Structure 1
Amino acid sequence: MRVLLLNLGEASLEAVQPALAGQGYEIATENGLTVQGVLALSPEVLVMEATPSDLSCCGLITQLKARPETDSSLKVVMVVHGGALERARALDLGTDDVISFPFDAVEFAARIRTQFRERRPEEELKTMLKYAVERERYADIAVESLSGVPASKRRLWLIPALFALSAAAVLAAVFVAVSTRNSRKATLQLRAEIARLNSGLQPQGDLLRRAEQARGSIETGSGSGSTARDSLKAQSEDLRKKVASADSADADALKRQLLDTQSRLAQLEKEDKIAETVVHKYGPSVCLLHVVVGFVDKQSGRPLQVAVDANGKPQVDDKGMAQLDLGGAGPPLQVDAFGTGFLARADGTILTNHHVAEPWWQDDELKRLLEQGVDPYVLSYEAYFPGKAAAIQAKLGRISSEADVATLKLETPPPSHAELLELDARREASVTGEAVVLMGYPTGVEGILARANSDVVQKVASGAQDVSQVMSRIASEQLIRPTTTQGHIGDILKDKIVYDAATTSGGSGGPLFNRDGKVIGINFAILRGFGGSNLAVPVRYATDLLK
């Protein structure tokens, strides 16, 4: 989500940057760009500050809105100094929204999120339509291959295009981490990644590359909070100096700005303290879940296997696609999915999402394919807790019929240092605008390795043949610990909590804490293109499962 700040004055820039910090935006700041300069940066939302009567401002907006490629896809928000008349002039120029300076940071951030919600990029729609048509065609071919040959002995050739269409194709190769529905599409479309035993696919190098990519994302996200805090401190110091030297006519307005800035800084520091307390107390109780999924042929009841040659190596065609088999000598077809869970009862009951416990659940795109020839099932559940050098095996507990919630039951006692998380199912425990803290394992394996030094990552990845081996090494190196992000509640619906604390695939099932350090929700979805907003299931849907 790209935001371009264009021609903003110093005061406006100091107000805008902390308002947008920590919400997952890619922010660029420029001055004096032409239309071509703006297009070169490909912003999705353009924030400008200019006098509407300025002909250069008028010309820039008009040209951008007149172009087919930016008419509907580029949203323009203008910051003006004045009241209703100035705002009306800005809207008449073609801007999508306008706000008067000084403004409230919460309101400004909400206005930017609104622009992302309203974007309707034509190219994205065309791409989605093209992929939908292709997916349907390739699904038909796959179904035919699964159901049109006698079950006694058939070999399933997976076509490259079926796999290439996955939204998670950038993860490539061996270690497929799944928790949100977008990432689960990649795994359950039976990608060629399941041929992970083929050393020629170089899983080690791919894992190192993706860990480095995740490191960059984590560093960017972790710096957003400190950036906002530092910006507010600098703004406060600058206002103090201006108050000291201002005449009486300007002093009152500057003092109000100073008090507002100091109030926002104090609130941010208070929220940081809440997060620190939550992490210290409950971090050891939030586990990384590793779910291994297998597949069986419906007609024969036999597991799907990777076809191997006489030397035991997976058979791959000239396009790099694996062959599947029934009743052969190859290893079973397996998919590794990741999610988050947390300790909810002293008997070892773990709360998580239904789609983490059963990664194929409610995947509409695969429904027809699975119904025609393949049944998925869970081979194993493993829970990795911080500070514990090995996984704890688990089994499926209960699944909610009302929401995306499920329980797992640890087969041995939970770690002694893990505390039960306190749940608050009261409706008044979730308040719009209040601060929240989210814990989980976004990006799964890659996110964990991204926080380790390069020597440890090399040690973990060196010679690894499968995900279980990598996970075992990660646990033995004491690398398991959840990521923590902060945000605010944007809206409260009957069956959802909308909030903006950052997360991604692998974070599903993570606990969402309120300012009192109690769990009010269970993270379950990411709203792509929705201003960084995410969804949590209110924890009251889990209470019946714990009775």
Structure 2
Amino acid sequence: MTERDANADPAADEPPIVAALHHLTGRSRGQVSWLSREAHGVHVSDSGAIRVTADGRSLPGMTPCARFHQAGRSYVLDAVGEAVLWVNRVPLRERHLHHGDMIEFGEQGPLSRFELIDAQHPIRRTLPEILSDMMAYLRVSRRPLHRRLPRALGGLALSLLKETTILFRVSVVLALAVIIVLGIRQGREIDRIEADMRSGATRLDAISTAIARDRETALRPGDLDAVRQELGQAVQRQSARIETLEFRWKAGAEAIAGARGSIAFLHGSFGLRDGATGRMLRHAVDATGRPLSSPLGRPLLTLEGDGPVAEREFTGTGFLVGGGRLLATNRHVALPWERDAATVASAGMGLEPVMLVFRGYFPDRPEPLELSLRAASDSVDLAVLDIGGPVDGLADLPLAEAPPRIGAEIIAMGYPTGLRAMLAQSGDAFVAALQAEAQSLDLEGVAARLAEAGHIRPLASRGIVGQISPEAVVFDAETTHGGSGGPLLDLSGHVVAIQSAIVPEFGGSNLGVPAVELRRLLDTLESAGVH
């Protein structure tokens, strides 16, 4: 051994002792005071602030209360003067400190945690720091991406396992456990719901949901304000559009005028009847006769009791054919339950649809006509209704002999939006009178009032034919729900198609059934001897 080695300080080869005080309370909360080999003095102010300085140094306005000095691989804490220290809630004058000791510096000083920084107690990086280091590696490393990425993810996993606190790791494990438990519970809940959907209870719920949806679309007193404020403007624009159409196209104006009186507004309702007992599906009611609802606001339905029949209401358009004795419309208007998912689901419970009310209202005629189904096509969306005999003063709409050409002008007529558009046309005074009355605002009652006041009038919109096929005429004239079954006229007033569907995603693609299909259906009735 050389003389230099013999005289060397054995501690010189050891890493320096580094310790820190993490201040958890008081004015210095969140701050860290670092300790090294030298002795340190601790000063506390009356406001609770703490300062750690070189031993022997005084600070104005602050009182010395403790002293740190190195002892082996840690520090000894001594009280100064009359100060009292608490370490781990024990009052004392002197203490050989260990990693994690909690120190209170007198009555005014903060609570601080003593931490050693060495191989046994490394500095813990925070999760944001670990993630930041991983991203820095991905940005800076010159390795190919396919090598960088696995190395970065592996380093992230290793850092999370080694450098995070036990509490963090436990929290992650608990979070994963909670997610797994919730996933299992969710899976069981989905299985239960699917089982319920196969049961009759869910089918009834589907019907009640549909009725609740009907309530949302039905007219309420507050809706009349919206009709007066919103649809009034829309009808004014529509009226201006019609006036422009009449001004620019005299033939179109004559077609509208000639067809208007033969186009009927259709309104009806249907219910569900138990095929075995003949009982109607009704609203469940309490002792006072008031309908009951579920916690979700859906009506409760039952085959027992004497509550009101659960009705589904619908509207549409029809026009005179067959010598003024029949109305042409869509099959889905004449048989509205065929496209109703809730009604289709109820078939498995032995429930069958029953038409309760089916009426047609013609312009300028106060009394409705009772309607019944005469025939429905099995191949296209068409049906023919019986109106009980010819109507004086009304004539058929003639059917075109040939399909229209692409680009030809057409006029769509009917009752789009049902009663709402007619209410908007009726004027502010009529709507105000309805608001002032205490009568029910169901579809049937409002339709009757509109007919009595002479406000049943179809709307017309102009467009062009965009495409023709044996199955459909595609057109862009404005229409919507409620216009189903209305005629699509050429400028000479002949029916070239019957409106049947709209494509919400693309307003330029409304669909109609070619008039030739209606002609075939009427010929079938005539050959069968139906008059």
TM-score higher than 0.5 here? Answer: yes
- CA distance 1:501–1:451, change in 2 (3 Å): same
1:321 and 2:298 matched: yes
Kept after mapping to 1: 8 A contact 2:224/2:431: no
| Matched residue, 1:382 | 359
* Cα-to-partner distance string for 1:318-376 (whole Å, 9 max, x where unaligned): 43221112131111111110000000122520000000001122456763444445322
- CA distance 1:497–1:298, change in 2 (3 Å): same
- CA distance 1:207–1:326, change in 2 (3 Å): farther
Instruction: Return the offset for 1:486.
Output: 0.5
Residue 234 (structure 2) aligned to one of 188, 210, 217: 217
Amino acid at match of 2:419: V
* Cα-to-partner distance string for 1:296-338 (whole Å, 9 max, x where unaligned): 2345432100111222211123432211121311111111100
Equivalent runs, 1:95-106 vs 2, <5 Å: none
Instruction: Return the offset for 1:202.
Output: 8.8
| Matched residue, 1:144 | 199
Residue 311 (structure 2) aligned to one of 334, 339, 344: 334
| Matched residue, 2:221 | 204
Partner-residue secondary structure (3-state), 1:436: strand
Instruction: Return the offset for 1:545.
Output: 2.5
Equivalent runs, 1:252-401 vs 2, <5 Å: 272-363=249-340, 367-401=344-378
| Matched residue, 1:442 | 416
Kept after mapping to 2: 8 A contact 1:437/1:487: yes
Partner-residue secondary structure (3-state), 1:191: helix
Kept after mapping to 2: 8 A contact 1:390/1:475: yes
- CA distance 1:273–1:393, change in 2 (3 Å): same
- CA distance 1:333–1:425, change in 2 (3 Å): farther
Q: Which has the higher helix share?
A: 1
Partner-residue secondary structure (3-state), 2:271: strand
* Cα-to-partner distance string for 1:507-537 (whole Å, 9 max, x where unaligned): 0000001122100100000011224321110
Residue 433 (structure 2) aligned to one of 445, 459, 462: 459
Amino acid at match of 1:445: L
Amino acid at match of 1:190: I
- CA distance 1:138–1:332, change in 2 (3 Å): farther
Q: Which has the higher strand share?
A: 2
Instruction: Return the offset for 1:143.
Output: 5.0
Equivalent runs, 1:69-218 vs 2, <5 Å: 141=196, 143-146=198-201, 158=205, 163=209, 189-191=210-212, 193=214, 203-210=220-227, 212-218=229-235
Instruction: Return the offset for 1:540.
Output: 1.0
Amino acid at match of 2:334: A
| Matched residue, 1:56 | none
Q: Taking every aligned residue pair, what percent have the same amino acid on both sides?
A: 31
Unaligned stretches of 5+ in structure 2?
1-188, 527-531
Amino acid at match of 2:417: T
- CA distance 1:135–1:397, change in 2 (3 Å): farther
1:431 and 2:448 matched: no
1:411 and 2:388 matched: yes
Quick one: distance in 1 between partners of 2:224 and 2:456? 17
- CA distance 1:216–1:480, change in 2 (3 Å): same
Unaligned stretches of 5+ in structure 1?
1-133, 149-155, 164-188, 230-267
Kept after mapping to 2: 8 A contact 1:204/1:463: no
Instruction: Return the offset for 1:206.
Output: 3.1
Residue 481 (structure 2) aligned to one of 505, 522, 542: 505
Partner-residue secondary structure (3-state), 2:426: coil
Kept after mapping to 2: 8 A contact 1:392/1:412: no
Quick one: distance in 2 between partners of 1:531 and 1:147? 35
- CA distance 1:135–1:512, change in 2 (3 Å): farther
- CA distance 1:137–1:477, change in 2 (3 Å): farther
| Matched residue, 1:422 | 398
Quick one: distance in 1 between partners of 2:517 and 2:451? 32
Structure with bigger RCO (C-alpha 8 Å, 6+ apart): 1
Quick one: distance in 2 between partners of 1:457 and 1:135? 48
1:493 and 2:514 matched: no
Quick one: distance in 1 between partners of 2:483 and 2:269? 17
Kept after mapping to 2: 8 A contact 1:464/1:470: no
RMSD: 3.2
- CA distance 1:390–1:455, change in 2 (3 Å): same
- TM-score by length of structure 1 reads 0.55
Kept after mapping to 1: 8 A contact 2:329/2:384: yes
* Cα-to-partner distance string for 1:184-212 (whole Å, 9 max, x where unaligned): xxxxx33264699xxxx993223543564
- CA distance 1:367–1:424, change in 2 (3 Å): same
Kept after mapping to 2: 8 A contact 1:396/1:409: yes
Amino acid at match of 1:535: L
* Cα-to-partner distance string for 1:207-228 (whole Å, 9 max, x where unaligned): 54356443343344445577xx
